[in-house]
Amino acid sequence: MTVLEKAVLNLAGALETLETKLESRLNDHSADGESFDAARNRARAARDHAQNVSKELSGAIGDLKSLLNDYDTVSKG
Maximum distance among all alpha carbons in the chain? Answer: 68
The one-character DSSP state at 29 is T
- The full set of domain ranges for the chain reads 3-76
| pLDDT in 10s for each residue of the chain, 77 residues | 677 777 777 887 888 888 788 777 777 666 566 677 787 788 888 888 888 888 888 888 888 889 999 888 888 86
Q: Which amino acid is at 25?
A: R
Q: What is the pTM of this model?
A: 0.55
Give the Cα separation of 33 and 25 in Å (integer): 13
Instruction: Give the pLDDT score at 37.
Output: 77
47, with CB counted inside 10 A (0-12, 13-18, 19+), is: buried
